[in-house]
Structure 1
Amino acid sequence: MAETQDYPVALDDIDALALRADTVIKRLRERVFAPGLQKTLDVRFNVRTAAEMVGRTEKAIRDAEGDGRLPEPEKNPETGRRAGYTLEEVNRMREVFGTLPHRAPGDPATVLAVQNFKGGVGKSTVVVHLAQYLAMRGYRVCVIDCDSQGSTTSIFGLNPDVDVDEDEDTLYPFFRHGGPSSLHYALRATYWPNIALIPANLGLYDAEYEFAARMVREQNFVLDRLRSGIETISDQFDVILLDPPPALGMISLSVLRAANALLIPAPPNNIDFGSTAHFLKMMGATLNELAEHGGARGYHFVKILATKMNDQKSAHQAIKRVMEAVFPHDLLNAVLKDSAEIDNATANLMTVYEITGAATRTETHKRCRVYLDAVGREVETLIRKTWPSHHAGLRKEGIL
């Protein structure tokens, strides 16, 4: 009795608190995921933008439409003007003109992990926007959500609690003893052309326990299980993006072993930057330890991305200068600045790239697109540098 008096908040109260929080999440998801409603991509590109994306002139596009190589453009029935091109139609143009940027068969698929053991650094934000940027550029992208919170899964239009079965749709079956030999079972097409998704939900958290138990018996198998799974699907994609959990666990270790490139988001404030420094130290120690058991693992590139940068905060500017001094060759030039546009889009389980209409004409939106596009371009260049078939093009562009 005394114990209850000393500690008036009991386990039942914790359970009730969790239940109330779950109710809030359900209401938010009910608002976004209306029954029978599937998320669609409503973004369209005018002929000038389409020509820039395809790498040909507006006249070349119209000529191809005129001679039948491309279908006649859809027109607005009221105005008779072109309604704009979908991303699928832009990719069809790329096929016709031979400007799809796919890697050659001999080029290695880029397996890029956006990793930091600290939460709240913008990891999922970077993953979804980078995936969509690369898809708009014409690359074939797979996003693997390795985080049981399922934030990336939600943004791609799936309700983790309803639309995702942990025993069939996530990485969990693949991690279990006697699981599938390939990851094909989990691949889902998304409403974004060129983006496939392996979703996640809370059930994936159980894989941490099973991994830990198997580690004693099958160390090398567990460490490289994800890497071997990615190898079964990598021929279908140019870039595979991994969104790991924000913690040092078995899944995070598997991600580090599976990736061949790392992008580390790090906000320029004392706490987050300190955590990133600890992450780098832990990552180095962990990889060295794992190398003794499963062999050394290298990366095509490892880059740090300053995220949630606020130019109005002198502390952010000071720490950013420190980052530039300490990581002169490891820090991306592009910065993902703190933006209400990203926050507002995320609140509706969207990305900035999915916003349409008058909202795209605001200065806030335009600035945010500039930041996101700059990050995407720099990462795209790093990826292309790993593909020998792209070297001649990069030299022509003055990059190599």
Structure 2
Amino acid sequence: MNLVAHKRSIESSADKITRQAQMLSAQLQSIRTRMYPPEAMKSLKTFTSREVSSLLGIAESTLRQMSLDGESAIPERQDNGRRIYTLAQINEIRRHLAQKRPSEAFSFHPQRQRGDKLQVLTIANFKGGSAKTTTTVHLAHYLAIQGLRVLAIDLDPQASLSAMFGYQPEFDVEENQTIYASIRYDEDQRRPLRDVIRKSYFPGIDVVPGNLELMEYEHETPQAIADGVGRGDAIFFRRLGAVISDVADDYDVVLIDAPPQLGYLTLGALCAATSLLITIHPAMIDVASMNQFLAMMSDIMHVIEERGGVLEHDFIRYVLTRHNPNDVPQVNVVALLRSLFGEDVLAPVVVDTTAIANAGLEKKSLYEMAKGSVGRDTLNRALESVDAVNAEIFNHIKSVWGRT
């Protein structure tokens, strides 16, 4: 036996896992650098005139004439003469049209107005595979494309949401750069939320990334409770909502990707939320797991209310994900959920498709996928599905704001 093999044979489990984690982390960093050279940063696709006219609800000829007249944003011209727009330019056109046609301002520029309530949506479930992070990413991208200002908070120590926005937690997110920095108990180390918010490559979306340091909050909170630390907004279940309120004027919607367990971070997310989205894969084992999640959440929410917490949500909706409409058992589960929960189950569903899986491999949403990266029909069907779900959620948000 050579020396290396001998060392491996006496390597402890902890050392082995540490070594393998470091190897995998380095390889992931290498892959990311190859995918997004030279700065290893993601960038957003551009939009054609047809896509822009559809987004804005105006004729393509009107958009073309605006370009010819030098009115608002001037698009780039490709070699074939086609005009392409960035999302920043689309938002500039939105503002221009809202001023030019004040009676239609909300349809062009749907950001919340003075007096409109900041919407904080927590996306939750503790069953793996429920597409919680995928749902969060697609909703964030959809709302930003509609012109809203979105803050996405990664509350999960596994940091999948951060990875989707191009951050590798162990390389790109250093100590005290997560939401933990704003809600931690030692005041001398605490940072304002605005200090840990990062601009993303996606116009309209800011991100608070996560990493393993979020677990510190789970470890420290029981001792803080035992020591009687925290009153009012400083009590553990109000801390997240309190720091979000500090940046409320900067955003229309805050999306929180909650951890896949009912810990103190998730409780803070439930209390901070104005609305809840519960993702569910319509298979019986997943529904059974969700049943336990709901039972535990109910018990804990009652305890929080007894401690003075106020849990009043504008809407609670179940989002059916990864649904195969040709799978009879899944169809039966969907029918069961609709019969039990009625309109609390979103009418549209996210279909199970290779397009979403392929996008995930590239750490992209469907809205970032280039034409030709997957089959056109496959991509279009997937987009129709995700668009329908996100549009209904957006309609619920607009309803809270008093818009039809």
Does residue 375 (structure 1) correspond to residue 385 (structure 2)? The answer is: no
Q: How many residues align?
A: 379
Q: Which of 61, 64, 67 matches 2:66?
A: 64
Aligned partner of 1:37 in structure 2 is 39
Does residue 214 (structure 1) correspond to residue 199 (structure 2)? The answer is: no
Provide closer, same or farther for how the CA distance between residues 22 and 36 of structure 1 changes in structure 2, counting only shifts above 3 A: same
Contact in 2 for aligned 1:147/1:200 (Cα 8 Å)? yes
Q: Which of 27, 45, 48 matches 1:46?
A: 48
Deviations 1:152-208 (A, max 9, x none): 0011011111111132x2112112220546310111110100000000111221221
Does residue 309 (structure 1) correspond to residue 318 (structure 2)? The answer is: no
What does 1:1-400 correspond to in 2, within 5 Å?
12-17=12-17, 19-34=19-34, 36-76=38-78, 78-79=79-80, 81-98=81-98, 99-167=108-176, 169-176=177-184, 177-178=186-187, 179-180=189-190, 182-216=192-226, 217-218=228-229, 220=231, 221=234, 222-359=236-373, 362-388=376-402, 391=403, 394=404
Contact in 2 for aligned 1:224/1:254 (Cα 8 Å)? yes
Cα distance in structure 2, aligned partners of 1:206 and 1:309: 36
Cα distance in structure 2, aligned partners of 1:341 and 1:71: 32
Flag as ranges the 4+ runs of structure 1 deviating above 6 A. none
TM-score by length of 2: 0.89
TM-score by length of 1: 0.90
Kindly provide the amino acid, as one letter, of the partner of residue 223 in structure 1.
F
Aligned partner of 1:6 in structure 2 is none
Q: What RMSD over aligned residues (CA atoms) do the two structures have, in Å?
A: 2.0
Kindly provide the amino acid, as one letter, of the partner of residue 318 in structure 1.
N
Provide closer, same or farther for how the CA distance between residues 203 and 11 of structure 1 changes in structure 2, counting only shifts above 3 A: farther
Kindly provide the amino acid, as one letter, of the partner of residue 77 in structure 2.
K
Unpaired runs of at least 5, structure 1: 1-8, 395-400
Say which SS state the counterpart of residue 210 (structure 2) adopts. coil
Say which SS state the counterpart of residue 316 (structure 2) adopts. strand
Deviations 1:197-254 (A, max 9, x none): 0001112212211122212222542210000000001111111000011011111111
Cα distance in structure 2, aligned partners of 1:60 and 1:327: 44
Contact in 2 for aligned 1:88/1:193 (Cα 8 Å)? yes
Deviations 1:88-137 (A, max 9, x none): 11111101101211011100010000011222211000000110011111
Contact in 2 for aligned 1:113/1:244 (Cα 8 Å)? yes
Provide closer, same or farther for how the CA distance between residues 251 and 11 of structure 1 changes in structure 2, counting only shifts above 3 A: farther
Kindly provide the amino acid, as one letter, of the partner of residue 172 in structure 1.
Y
State which drifts further: 303-312 or 257-266: 303-312
Kindly provide the amino acid, as one letter, of the partner of residue 173 in structure 1.
A
Contact in 2 for aligned 1:110/1:383 (Cα 8 Å)? yes
Please state how far the C-alpha of 1:60 moved relative to its aligned partner: 2.8
Paired-residue identity, %: 31
Say which SS state the counterpart of residue 333 (structure 1) adopts. coil
Cα distance in structure 2, aligned partners of 1:134 and 1:214: 37
Unpaired runs of at least 5, structure 2: 1-8, 99-107
